[in-house]
Amino acid sequence: MPDDTLVYPCHDYDGRFVTTIAQEKLRNPRLGQNISMAEFVAIMNSMNLPYPRKIDFAVPGNEQCGICPDNVPEKYRTPCEKYDQG
């Protein structure tokens, strides 16, 4: 992505609500220093992170530009419905 692409992070960003690809290359140790895709994958795999519990409906929701996917559990639908312009 171009360096001026805006990114709206959801967590762990020290209170920042918007950043850019260029800023992330400078600040994020997993993205900066011109690391290769293979190096990025190795870093992420070595972190042994648990499988994200909301990923199975968050990714489809993002791919559909915020439209609430059918598989969102009822307990998580309220915020989705509030902003669903679908």
- Domain assignment of residue 18, given as a range: 6-46
The answer on 40 and 14 residing in a single domain is: yes
Whole-angstrom distance, CA of residue 71 vs CA of residue 15: 30
* Domain assignment of residue 1, yes or no: no
Report the number of distinct structural domains present in the chain: 2
Q: Are 20 and 7 in contact (CB under 8 A)?
A: yes
Whether 86 has a pLDDT exceeding 50, the answer reads no
Say if residue 84 is in the same domain as residue 55.
Answer: yes
Beta strands of 1-86 (E only): which ranges?
Answer: 6-7, 19-20
pLDDT, mean of residues 60-82? 74
The answer on 71 and 55 residing in a single domain is: yes
Give CA separation, 4 vs 17, 30, 41, 63, 73, in Å. Answer: 15, 18, 24, 21, 35
Q: What is the pLDDT of residue 12?
A: 63
Residue owning tokens 């920042």: 16
Query: CB–CB of 16/9 below 8 Å?
Result: yes
In tens, the pLDDT along 37-54 reads 899 899 989 998 888 888
| This prediction's pTM | 0.53
pLDDT band at 58 (very low <50, low <70, confident <90, very high): confident
- Mean pLDDT for the chain? 80
Residue 67 has pLDDT above 60, yes or no: yes
